[in-house]
Chains A and B, each alone.
Chain A
Amino acid sequence: MGRASDSGPDHVLENDINNDSHHTNNWAVLVSTSRFWFNYRHMANVLSLYRTVKRMGIPDSQIILMLSDDIACNPRNAFPGTVFNNMDQAIDLYGELVEVDYRGYEVTVENFVRLLTDRWDSNHPRSKRLMTDENSNIFIYLTGHGGNEFLKFQDAEEIGAYDIADAFEQMYEKKRYNEIFFMIDTCQANSMYERFYSPNILAVGSSKVDESSYSHHSDLDLGVAVIDRFTYYTLEFLEKIDKNSNVTMDKLFDEYTFENVHSTPGIRTDLFRRNVSEVRLTDFFGNVQDMEVDTAQDEKIMHIMNEVHKQEAQELPRESQAEVTFKSTYGKLDERTALVKVSGTQKRLIAGFTACVLVGLWVIAK
């Protein structure tokens, strides 16, 4: 069970073990990274989870679905408009109301990292943005072909474990999440989460370093493998869960045995503040939310609003929406991460001072 055995409550970062998630909204980012028809199963993996999170109540506007190739209407598909994850062909994952946010050539490392960190130009449509805040629980699922500390995108480029770790750190700094549940189904998947260093991330992977992840079975009518083992057992468990379920995460993790998956799944809990045996699955897969009761006094809010208006009046309107929201939401509330606004003269002073110090150092060195 990989890291599950050596982690426990003593690895919890903060002392106050609080088993309420405190999130007010749920988001899901579901990414398949492989192109070509023979990678049918990766699209099926992702669409299975898409169906699950939608069934559990996350609306389409809060699901970012990245599908790297068109397989539903692929000329090779004998069943146009459908994607199946089982040879019994009982559930059509494509259904009638699928909304794909990024497809085909749009599924790139750049777009994925931009999505996580929300750095886009001003024309970027809202439906393609991850508009999370510090109260968001995000479920991130990646599948594709990978190796030690990398995951291939489209057979043409790759994302490194460090890239994802840094993107998560940036998200943490920008207060873009409350908790992240990161799931990855690829060869040597566990290497992808080893580099994470930001708090409140729970991660699972399908196989350890030097191990492959395997597909579950093939559908001979389609002529391709339809689902991967790790995802198959994840889904088999999730199918039994409904919107109001209180089943906890550790029950899902119990499914991840070598007998089922044929590789060694890994679970990383050391960054996560809560005990997995008390984390409900619906905290990530569902849309059950806490209400945040605002206790701030009215005049305080008015003060903040005034400040924001003043700031907005000063700034050029060309700034991206995200930056403005970021400033208006966090700019004055939290001193630790507040943005320091530097005026032109201050900038020049700082530059001059730095130049003097450098010159001094050089003279001393001489």
Chain B
Amino acid sequence: MIHVLWFLFLCGTGLAIPYNELLTLRPLERNKLLGLFEFNVESEPSRLIYYNDLAPAQPKAASHYMYFPHVLGPIIETSNTRELHLRFTQGWWDNEEWGKLPYNGRRSGGTGVEVWAVIEADSYKTAKRDWKKLTSTLSGLFCASLNFIDESITTIPNYHASQKPNQNIHVTHPSHDLYLLRAVLPSEPICTENLTPFLKLLPTRGKAGISTLLDGHKVFDSLWHSMSIDMNTVCEGTDCKLQMTQSVNTVIDVLRSLRRKNEGGIPKPTPGEKLRCDESKTYNVWQCFPLGDPTDVAWSLEEIFGRPILGAAFELVPGSTKINVEVDRENWSVSVIDYQEQKVEPETIDNGLSFDIQEPQPYDVKFSSPDSSKVLTSDSPPIKVARSLTGYSQDRGGLRTHFSNPTTSDRKFIYFEFLPWFMRLHLNTLKVSFQDETGTRLLSPEEEKQYIHTRFYRPAIDRKRPSHLELSIVLPPKLTLVLTYEFEKSLLLYAEYPPDANHGFAVEAGMVTVLNENDDVEYEIRTSSLLLTLPTPDFSMPYNVIILTCTIMSLAFGTVYNLLTKKVITEEELEVIAAQGKLAKLKEVLQKRFKAAK
């Protein structure tokens, strides 16, 4: 009873709950909108427990998750996962126009699904077993093919592994260690079935708060989107709690969303009277040079997402549901209005406005601007990277990676690349060249060392592990470094080809981790993933071969068998043999008897 009263008291006074959500909206150039949805939740502190599959009796973990998703808790505990990071990303982030990735790239993966975890285990072998268990269970939870993660694509990034992931984690036993494991599924599609379980993890189940805007039709109609889950174990003394941040980041094309709302999915030609023509050029009934996108805009979130925000996540809890709008306040007028068209009083923050919504009623965010091209300038990323495939032959290919430093100071970064085992890397072909205003120049091995400080390479083992290349590079300002190397394409076994083998094989993105002066991670960026064409056999060939071989074998066998088992004789010889045979004797006897009877 006292507890209930205490709980009511807590609710009444609006004390903090271990959950909050934040929607950050930032208009980008050319009528794009960056929407960042962030949800933070914490479990109740409890003692850390090591779950051993083979032990007969299991210690019972405390199951007071409170706001922490009850479906995820046991999965994390039984696989001894101390840290879990999941990324579902699709689309292409436009560096030039949109600048730095949100959260310095720390919450967006490469194309496809990326997962890494820190697992406590007594040995690497046990860690791998728990990793397998974790990924298979997550595959059921997130409707993604994470069960395809096996040792041939599981990798351990050196740099990240050397950074002890979280100093606060205590292992439960001194002989145990923490193991970092990572795998990527670059060709995994991301769709509504992945978003559904993501929303179900929230304490609001997507029924209240900013998560009500997250509708698959809108999220997946964006130019770029990334869903992420970051789970950490944070310990104070022996009490540890799970902290989780879920986020959905999207870049929405505002004009396309509005057009889709008004006209439907298939674009139709603009009627003559609605054409916007450039009147400074030839302009008459027949000729019209179209103008670019309109810049005098007014739209609301409800128009873009198809519905308003359905109230605060938790009623009357200040700070639990916040909306931040990052705009140039002189050019944009932004207001959050409730159901009765009442404006919510904003709070001014560094680069915009912040709104705290608390009532259980629909809210909408209205934007208008006389010149939508005037947005906050976005920082340029510290390193730009582009990777592409070279060559066109069936058995060989190459990779070329460009790194450039657009900033005005030296930049140190780790480039880290995993290639599937069927790309046999020839490291002796690795060439580094150097690009600046004067042109391109190949570097000698001595010069290379000036830029590439350390190299780590672990070759692949067929079907067992991928090849792992990790370089630590320091790039002077305004320079471009080009890395090229060649690889050999191997033939797979017949059953290893996927059903659409001719589509090509996706190769996961390379990862650049930019470090600051203290060697801490400053920014993360991934290259695009690649589609590699492997030599594919004619899949009907085995049947042809089997059929032809069988025919030839039966012909040959039949002939040889006949030759070996049968004797060729003349007709006369046969008569002689027949006369001596038992049948002939029997006939003789019968004939004799017959005659005698006569």
Contact = CB atoms under 8 A, between A and B. Distances in A.
Interface in A233-263: none
A94 B192 CA distance: 8
| Main DSSP-derived SS at the A contact region | loop
A221 B266 contact: yes
Given A78-B265, A78-B266, 8 more contacts: A70-B191, A72-B191, A72-B192, A72-B216, A98-B193, A105-B498, A124-B140, A221-B266
B499 A154 contact: yes
B559 to A, nearest CB: 32
A81 B220 contact: yes
Most buried by A among B90, B143, B197, B219: B143
B504 to A, nearest CB: 14
Given A80-B217, A81-B217, A127-B141, A100 B193 contact: yes
Interface in B465-495: none
Nearest to B188: A104
B356 to A, nearest CB: 27
Nearest to A100: B193
Given A79-B265, A96-B196, A155-B499, A73 B141 contact: no
B189 A104 contact: yes
- Which 3 A/B pairs are nearest by Cβ-Cβ distance? A125-B140, A70-B189, A154-B499
26 contacts: A70-B189, A72-B191, A72-B192, A73-B191, A73-B192, A80-B220, A81-B216, A81-B219, A94-B216, A95-B192, A99-B143, A99-B193, A100-B143, A101-B143, A103-B143, A105-B145, A105-B148, A123-B133, A123-B137, A124-B140, A126-B140, A128-B139, A128-B140, A154-B499, A155-B499, A221-B266
Contacts, number: 95
A268 interface: no
Interface string A154-174: 111000000000000000000
B499 A127 contact: no
B141 to A, nearest CB: 7
B500 interface: yes
Most buried by A among B132, B133, B498: B498
Interface in B497-540: 498-500, 539
A155 B215 CA distance: 33
Contacts of B192: 72-73, 81, 94-96, 98
The listed residue with most B CB atoms (<10 A of its CB), out of A104, A127, A317, is A104
Given A73-B220, A81-B217, A127 B140 contact: yes
A155 B497 CA distance: 12
A99 B539 contact: no
B410 interface: no
A123 B132 contact: yes
Contacts of B189: 70, 73-74, 103-104
B197 A99 contact: yes
A29 to B, nearest CB: 16
Given A96-B192, A123-B132, A123-B133, A156 B215 contact: no
Nearest to A121: B136
B200 to A, nearest CB: 9
A97 interface: yes
A104 B188 CA distance: 9
A36 B196 CA distance: 24
A261 B176 CA distance: 65
Interface string A67-99: 000101110001111100000000010111111
Nearest to B133: A123
A134 interface: no
B251 to A, nearest CB: 14
Contacts of A92: 217
Interface residues of B, number: 34
A221 B265 contact: yes
A72 B193 CA distance: 10
A105 B187 CA distance: 11
B281 to A, nearest CB: 32
B193 A156 contact: no
Contacts of A72: 191-192, 216, 220
A35 interface: yes
A96 B499 contact: no
B77 interface: no
A72 B219 CA distance: 12
Given A35-B499, A94-B192, A99-B197, A82 B136 contact: no
B145 A106 contact: yes
B145 to A, nearest CB: 6
A96 B215 contact: yes
B309 interface: no
A44 B442 CA distance: 55
B549 to A, nearest CB: 22
Contacts of A97: 196
Nearest to B200: A97
B121 interface: no
A123 B147 CA distance: 9
Given A81-B221, A103-B145, A125 B137 contact: yes
A358 to B, nearest CB: 29
Interface string B212-254: 0001111111000000000000000000000000000000000
A124 B136 contact: yes
A82 B192 CA distance: 9
Contacts of A128: 139-140
B317 to A, nearest CB: 26
Contacts of A103: 143, 145, 189, 193
B499 A125 contact: no
A82 B221 CA distance: 10
Contacts of A221: 265-266
Contacts of B193: 98-100, 103
A74 B500 CA distance: 15
A98 B197 CA distance: 9
A72 B143 CA distance: 14
A141 to B, nearest CB: 18
Interface string B146-166: 011000000000000000000
